[in-house]
Amino acid sequence: MRMKFGLVFGAVLFNITGCKTLDSVQSIGGSSPSNEQVQAAYSRAEAAYQEAQQAMYLANTESLIDYDRVRVQKAQKEWQELEENFADLKAKPFEALDSASFFSSQTVSGEIIELSQEVLALIGGAQAAKNLILSVLEPVRSHFAVLDKFAAQEHFPIRYRKLNETHKKYRAMLVDGKQPEVEAELADFNAQLTALEVSAVERYYLGEILSQLRTISASPKAKVLPSVALDASNTSEYAKVYIRNNVRDYEQIEEKVRLAKLQLLRVDSLYQEHLARKEALQKNQVEAQLLELESHLLALTEKAGLGDLRHLSFAEQLSAVKDKL
C-alpha cells in the first residue's frame, strides 16, 4: 500500500444513488488508510464503473445518439476517460485512496465515481429526451412511415424536405425541454403531413388511372362515348374523395381503385365494339355480327329454360332472362 505522510486530503462527492460519501481518509499524525478502507473505496469505484458501463450499453442498444447526439457524444468522451482511469486503478487497486493528481483533493476512487455520475446523468438525459420525442412526436413518426412507404420524398421532394426539416427542429426543441412550444404547433404540422400523405397515396393508387383518363379525354373515345367516359371520370373522382377522407383505409381504397380501373377497361371495350361495327357498316358485314350476337343470346335463353326467343328484340330477350333469374 502506498503511504503518504504529512498530507491531509478529503473529497465529498455524490455516489451512484445521489447520496454523499467520504472517499478520502485524512492522514493525521502519520496515520494511513487501512486495508479495509482502501478495499471499500475500490469496491465503490468498481460499482460506479459497472453502472456507467451498463448505461453506455443502454445508449447503444437504444440508439440514443439518434435522439440526443450532443449528450451521447459527451457521455462517450467521459466514458473513454473513465475506462482509462478504471483500467489504471484495476492494475493498482491499492491506490484507490491516493490523490487523483498533485493538485486535486479528489481521490482516484472518487474521481472514477464522479466520472461515472456524469456518464449516468448524460445517458439518463438522452434517454429522457428519446422518451419525450417518441411520446410527443408519435403521430409524426407514423406519418413519415407512410410517406416513405409511398415514396413521397421521390415524388414530392420540396414538400417532403420542408416537413422533414420541421420534424428535426421539433426533435431538437424537445431535447432542449421545449415541449409546450412543440405541442402548440403540432396540430398544424400534422395537418400538413396528412395533406402530403393524401397526395402520395393518391399518386400511388390513382396516378396511372388519372393519366389514362387525360389521354381518353383528348381522344375520339370521349366524343364517341361521352357518357361512358364521364362514368370513368366520376368513378375515379369518387376514389380520390374516398382517399382524402380515409387515407389509411387501404383495403377499401384498393376496391374503389379496382372499380375505376374497370371503368377504363369498359371505355376501351366499348370503343373497340364501336370500331368493329363501324368497319362492318363500311363493308356491309352487319348481318354477320348480328347473327353472332343472336346466337349468343339463344344459348343464354335456352340455358335459362326460356327456349328460342329470337323473334324478340335483343333487349326483350335479355329482359326475359333477367326476369327468369
pLDDT, tens digit (0-9, with 9 covering 90-100), for 92-126? 888 888 876 756 678 889 999 999 999 999 999 99
Strand pairing class (12-14; 20-22): antiparallel
Mean pLDDT of the chain: 87
pLDDT at 156: 97
* Residue 16 CB neighbours (<10 A): 16
User: 261 and 291 share a domain?
Assistant: no
Average pLDDT over residues 128-139: 93
- Please indicate, yes or no, if residue 280 is contained in any of the structural domains: no
User: 182 and 294 share a domain?
Assistant: no
Q: Which helix or strand (DSSP H or E) is residue 12 part of?
A: strand 12-14
Its pTM surpasses 0.85:
no
Q: Which residue has the higher pLDDT, 278 or 188?
A: 188
User: 266 and 305 share a domain?
Assistant: no
- Please indicate, yes or no, if residue 279 is contained in any of the structural domains: no
User: 169 and 65 share a domain?
Assistant: no
Average pLDDT over residues 165-190: 95
- Please indicate, yes or no, if residue 5 is contained in any of the structural domains: no
pLDDT in tens, 14-70: 333 343 344 444 333 346 888 899 999 899 999 999 999 999 999 999 999 999 999
- Please indicate, yes or no, if residue 252 is contained in any of the structural domains: yes
The whole domain housing 86 covers: 12-135
pLDDT at 180: 96
User: 170 and 261 share a domain?
Assistant: yes
pLDDT at 21: 40
Q: Which residue has the higher pLDDT, 29 or 180?
A: 180
User: 189 and 260 share a domain?
Assistant: yes
- Please indicate, yes or no, if residue 244 is contained in any of the structural domains: yes
User: 295 and 206 share a domain?
Assistant: no
3-state helix/strand/coil string of 179-238: HHHHHHHHHHHHHHHHHHHHHHHHHHHHHHHHHHHHHHHCCHHHHHCHHHHHHHHHHHHH
Q: How many structural domains does the chain have?
A: 3
